[in-house]
Amino acid sequence: MRSQPGRLDASGETILGLPTEKYEPKKRSLGSTIAVIVSCTMALVINLFNTTSTSIALPTIGRDLNIVQAKLQWLVSAYSLSSGCLLVLLGRLADLYGRKWVFMLGSASLAAFTLGCGFAPNELALDVLRGFQGVGAAATIPASLGILAHTFPVGSGKVRSIAFATFAAGAPVGAFMGNCLGAVLDQLAKTSWRSNFFLSCGLTVFYMIIGWFSIDKDEPAPPGMDRRVDWIGGFLITAGLVLIIYVLSDGETAPDRWATSYIIACLVIGCLLVGLFLVWQWYLEKVQNTPNMPYSVWTPPPLMKLSLWSRGKGRFSVIMVIALLTWCTFLGWNFWATLYYQNYAKLTPISTMLRFIPMFVTGVICDIIIILTIHRVSVIWILGAGTLITGCAPIFFAVINPRSPYWAFGFPSAICSVFGADFVFAAGTLFVSKIVEDDEQSLSGALFQTMTQIGTAIGVIVTTIVFNRVIVQDSAKLGATVTPNTNFDEVPQRAQLYAYQAAQWAAFAFCMIATIFVIIWFRGVGIIGEKSKGEEKSVPEEKAKPLDVYQDSMPPSMPPTPTTAYMPDQNLESATEFSERQHSKSSGSLASLTAVLPWPRLSPTFHVDLEKAYTTPMSSASSVQLQSASPNHYD
């Protein structure tokens, strides 16, 4: 396995510089670099466009297809449901069989079903097509992240940070485009809301063409790589997530709500399938890590190593939760702000769109801020600022006075909304890409995007539950009876306002929880971005210092070329843990290995018997042989 210089180790707080084969990124022209970034970013733009353009057109779609208010959220959730549930499987396929191949096929599928949505004759057809539309997005997004990570690997300098920051900007830009163009087409186009799907189809084909000519061809699989797919695991996780999110989506509108028999059954079966998936992945990973295990067609490599979630001392798991919570707030706020403007304030789609323009301007500014600061500022400040500021967006609607001007509540809310989407996505994907292996880039990107897609569904679902509960209770207090089939115009205005405010309070809570997670878990992680070539490489603050391993400190059989290792402190991954992890991945041939030791820095006279460390069976007592006179050699 190749090691890229500057990669964070499993602790997420230090850099490894293993003297194995160095990965040299392909030299490309400025135009080619821009084309790759544009193609991948447009995939994310279209993904958000497909969500927000549908959201802003919901009232029109509801009137045109005779869909009641309580079921409108399914048009948003169906897309997030299918894409979120298939991201893991398709991300793993991209890592195994080629990211460009999966990217192109996923884009073609997305274009085809998006076109079909434009011709949907009724509610059922549109729901089904929206679900299939999400399958294409599930293929393109993780493949895009894998393509960026491979095209601009660690060590590429500032261009890597620019690539990931630009990709992250695709979220707010896509949300703005969906609101802006979606509103204009919904109100002015002859085909109304259907025009949004036609436009999305055309843009998808456009970035497909760019990607076909600019994205590098998939490299042949390394010799001996096991490319078997864990189809059993893929079925278990996909079916489990489908059932669970279906329950969350339909539980509120079922005949007996959460007490409905099929809701309870689906929830139990869904949780059982997810539990079986986790056990199955644990077993497959154990089999893969057991030496001399006999070959079996029933034990392929796991779809997702459970140990992946413990990377970075558990911070891999935490950043996933932070992404989920941030998107709960971002899309929950967007969903209810759109409905407030159109259903309560009775604004036209274009008037609604104009109120979301600050999102686009702020998104561009956030992208510039990320590019300028990601290699200078500790990640805790970036993540914390993003979650905290985005959490403020729902507050303005939660306390809104309908008689006040737009500038008092709507304008600051729109500005605050995009900080989390931009900052968390850029910093989160950069952090994840540094603590996972080369053959896990698309999978890790898929998991990250899974969290954002499921966060979209959960954010809309939970806030919808709050909205429905409040509107029923407050209407009863005002002497009106509201049922799921009640025409929304018959609901008292005051009850509507309280319900919209309550939904926004629920959206606010998600980001506040995310901010607490950032403060607790990301203290001391440091800087994750890279400076331009020629500048000093960025490493986490006070957590990693370079150590020059000179020729006279190396065993005679080791290469004479000086290398640079980075030494973690005692809180990071131990030498035994790291050596065992590397030993379990080796194929048996003698290879270079730099041991990572739990001290800040060692003097040049302190060295490691690398050959013996590699060839001697690992144990908790001794995995490396250290040659040192006394602790006085430590700086």
Say whether pLDDT at 19 is over 50: no
Mean pLDDT of 138-148: 87
**Cβ pair 304, 368 in contact under 8 A:** no
Say whether pLDDT at 549 is over 70: no
Q: Which of 96-100, 188-192, 312-316, 574-578 has the lowest mean pLDDT?
A: 574-578
* pTM given for the model: 0.70
Say whether pLDDT at 615 is over 60: no
What CA–CA distance (Å, rounded) separates 20 from 368?
Answer: 35
- The token pair at 161 is 């940070």
> Which residues, other chains included, contact 416 with Cβ-Cβ below 8 Å and sequence gap of 6+?
389, 390, 392, 393, 396
Mean pLDDT of 276-299: 84
pLDDT computed for residue 487 by the predictor: 65
| Mean pLDDT of all residues belonging to the chain | 76
Q: For residue 420, which of 328, 356, 501, 341 has the smallest C-alpha distance?
A: 328
Q: With cut-offs at 50, 70 and 90, classify the pLDDT of residue 203.
A: very high
Q: Which of 196-200, 389-393, 475-479, 578-582 has the lowest mean pLDDT?
A: 578-582
Q: With cut-offs at 50, 70 and 90, classify the pLDDT of residue 562.
A: very low
Q: Kindly state the DSSP code that residue 617 receives in the 8-state scheme.
A: P
What CA–CA distance (Å, rounded) separates 509 from 390?
Answer: 11
What CA–CA distance (Å, rounded) separates 50 from 206?
Answer: 16
pLDDT computed for residue 210 by the predictor: 92
Containing H/E element for 547? strand 545-549
Q: With cut-offs at 50, 70 and 90, classify the pLDDT of residue 530.
A: low
pLDDT computed for residue 450 by the predictor: 78
Mean pLDDT of 154-166: 81
pLDDT computed for residue 534 by the predictor: 52
Distances from the Cα of 463 to the Cα of 52, 62, 479, 507, 594, angstroms: 16, 19, 24, 7, 51
The pLDDT tens digits of the residues spanning 248-260 come to: 777 777 777 778 8
Q: With cut-offs at 50, 70 and 90, classify the pLDDT of residue 277.
A: very high
Say whether pLDDT at 152 is over 80: yes
Q: Is 547 exposed, middle or buried (0-12, 13-18, 19+ CB in 10 A)?
A: buried
Say whether pLDDT at 303 is over 90: no
Domain spans of the chain, in order of start: 29-218, 230-287, 309-529
What superfamily does domain 309-529 belong to in CATH? MFS general substrate transporter like domains (1.20.1250.20)
Say whether pLDDT at 9 is over 90: no
Q: Do domains 29-218 and 309-529 have the same CATH topology?
A: yes
pLDDT computed for residue 384 by the predictor: 93
The pLDDT tens digits of the residues spanning 359-370 come to: 888 888 888 898
pLDDT computed for residue 322 by the predictor: 95
What superfamily does domain 29-218 belong to in CATH? MFS general substrate transporter like domains (1.20.1250.20)
